[in-house]
Amino acid sequence: MAGIARMQTVVVDCPDPEALARFYAAVLGWEVVRIDEDGEWAAISDPDGGATPLSFQRVADYRPPRWPDAEHPQQFHIDLRVDDVDKAEAEVLALGATRHEHQPAGLYGGFRVYLDPAGHPFCLCFGDDD
């Protein structure tokens, strides 16, 4: 069935688009393909063209989510599949992520929750289940 539209990008609110774009480009092995001169927008893309690009836009008075607090919900999160979670953890921490204090267990296989430099949750997923 044909849809009405095609996905162009996923846009993430943040205080510093260039910094967050560089963080996710390093995590994913993607390329930074756009940084606006005014610092309001940045984008990264899969060099193989196999995934939807990610874009980042500056939001004045940005307030990060406080997951799992429902009063300040996560807004969105990204799940990233890894082969070696311990190695991947060391690498994302070195890039500026922090490991979240709340680590739910046993839901859909294995995963660990982190916060990117702007405070958005993301998961490193491992094991057999999605």
The domains of the chain are located at 1-61, 74-130
What's the pLDDT band for 110 if we cut at 50, 70, 90? confident
Ramachandran bin of 67, using left for φ above 0, alpha for ψ from -120 to 50, beta for the remaining angles: beta
- HSE, side-chain direction, 13 A CA sphere, residue 78: 17
Q: Which tens digit of pLDDT belongs to each residue from 9-51?
A: 898 999 999 999 999 999 999 999 999 999 999 999 999 999 9
Quick: pLDDT tens for 64-92. Answer: 888 888 887 777 778 888 989 999 999 99
- Contacts of 85 by beta carbon, 8 Å cutoff, 6+ apart: 110, 112, 124, 126
Comparison of pLDDT for 72 and 57, the residue scoring more: 57
Q: What is the CATH number of domain 1-61?
A: 3.30.720.120
Scan for tokens 């289940």, then name that residue. Answer: 129
Q: What residues contact residue 34 under an 8 Å CB cut-off, 6+ apart?
A: 41, 42, 43, 55
pTM: 0.80
Q: Residue 110 has which token pair?
A: 């294995």
For the domain spanning 74-130, the CATH number is: 3.10.180.10
CA proximity to 55, closest of 78, 32, 76, 29 = 32
